[in-house]
Chains A and B, each alone.
Chain A
Amino acid sequence: MSQTPLEPNRSEEERLQQFLRQSRTSPPPPSSDLEDRILRSIAAHPLKQRSRLFWGWVGIPILVAMLLSWVGYRRWQAQMLVQETEALETFLVSTWGGLLGQDGVEAETWWIELGPEGS
């Protein structure tokens, strides 16, 4: 079974890894006061639990406002749909009425009335 380029000879890799571990240079030890220095520096920066306050006082109202906007938009959209449907119905009725209106019937009637005279 051939090996992919990224998976060369395993023992070769293990030998290199072992060499790296044996030949690595350890970092110099920390200065004796480093730990206290770090503790002092964090004491100067007390943790702010801002995130929870933020989500409590600002985040939730924002979410509520977004929800209300969405609901309002949906209702407005539904209302517009009803209005459009009504307008379309009105248009169809008026157009249909025009097609079947008196003029058209009269014309037909006029044509039909000629029938008996000619027969």
Chain B
Amino acid sequence: MQAARDTFNADNADDAELIQRCLNGNSQSFRQLYRKYQQSVRNILYPLCGADSLDDLVQEVFLRAWKGLPRFRGSAQFSTWLYRICWNVASDQRRRYARQRSQTQELVLSALAAHPGPDVMQLHHQQALQRGMAQLSPEQCLVLVLHDLEDLPQKEIAHILGIPVGTVKSRLFHARTTIRKHLLQEGITP
């Protein structure tokens, strides 16, 4: 526990130092921040927006983060702030695609076909999960991804989304219920 806390504090200290260097005009420090967080950013954006234009969205997230660095006060963790930007970028993207919703869902599902799993059963599970996640609202989907897949604590998710912890719990509960129900309909008992 103590070790985890030390790592957490060290990460924060590293981030603060990197951010300060960026503010002093060292854009190479931003490369380190990018390398540290790009995978998490992709993991969050992918279930929300699909594979199509994922790179562009990642670029948008980091560009917004760069532009916003002078306003980042360090009262929250850098990751919390960055994930909030992810959510904003994903929301903007979804609004743009609102009229082509079915097309977006197709893109999410087709992305799966482009990256098949190791065996047929695994592929079946992945497809069922994707279809289940497509039934969730974007808010529920994000909470599920952040909590169950990215392992963020509920308090931090509440901070990212600017909502009470109770709302996070509620969204998580409904998201899990929807997914479980869908999986059962597809003959899968998790």
Known: A22-B125, A34-B55. A42 touches B30 (CB 8 A): yes
B34 touches A35 (CB 8 A): yes
B122 touches A47 (CB 8 A): no
Contact of A6 among B112, B122, B170 (CB under 8 A): B170
Query: A51 is contacted by which of B71, B128, B173 (Cβ under 8 Å)?
Result: B71
B23-52 interface code vs A (CB 8 A; 1 in, 0 out) = 101010011001100100011011000010
Q: Which residues of B are found within 8 Å of A20, using beta-carbon distances? A: 129, 144, 148-149, 179, 190
CB–CB B62/A38 < 8 A: yes
B158 within 8 A of A: no
A: interface residue count bin: 35 or more
- How far is it, in angstroms, between the C-alpha of A110 and the C-alpha of B54 when the chains are bound? 108
B interface, size bucket: 35 or more
Is B105 engaged at the interface, CB distance under 8 Å to the other chain? Answer: no
Q: Is residue B96 contacting chain A, with contact meaning CB distance below 8 A?
A: no
Chain B residues near A24 (CB-CB < 8 A): 126, 129, 149
**Min C-beta distance of A4 to chain B, whole Å:** 9
> What's the minimum C-beta distance from B152 to chain A, rounded to whole angstroms?
13
Known: A16-B180, A49-B23. Contact between A26 and B149, CB under 8 A? no
Expressed in whole angstroms, the minimum distance between the Cβ of A6 and any Cβ of chain B is 5
A47 and B170 alpha carbons, distance in the complex (Å)? 40
Chain B min CB distance to A27 (Å): 4
Q: Does A13 reach chain B (CB closer than 8 Å)?
A: yes
**What CA separation (Å) do A12 and B169 show in the bound complex?**
16
- Among B25, B173, B183, contact of A5 (Cβ-Cβ < 8 Å): B173
Query: Are A30 and B148 closer than 8 Å at their CB atoms?
Result: no
Cβ B31 vs Cβ A41 within 8 A: no
**Measured between C-beta atoms, what is the minimum distance from A5 to chain B in Å?**
7
Which residues in B have their C-beta under 8 angstroms from that of A38? 34, 58-59, 62-63
Which of A17, A21, A51 is within 8 Å of B70, CB to CB? Answer: A51
Q: Are B59 and A41 in contact (CB under 8 A)?
A: yes
Q: Is A119 an interface residue (CB 8 A)?
A: no
A24–B170 alpha-carbon span in the complex (Å): 22
Chain A residues with CB under 8 A of B55: 30-31, 34
Q: Which B residues are closer than 8 A to A by beta carbons? A: 22-23, 25, 27, 30-31, 34-35, 38, 42-43, 45-46, 51, 54-55, 58-59, 62-63, 66-67, 69-71, 111-112, 114-115, 117, 122, 125-126, 128-130, 144, 148-149, 169-170, 173, 176, 179-180, 183, 188, 190
A-B residue pairs in contact (CB < 8 Å), sample of 8: A16-B179, A22-B122, A23-B128, A25-B130, A27-B51, A34-B59, A39-B34, A42-B63
> Top 8 nearest A-B pairs by Cβ distance?
A27-B46, A19-B190, A23-B125, A27-B42, A42-B66, A23-B129, A16-B190, A6-B173
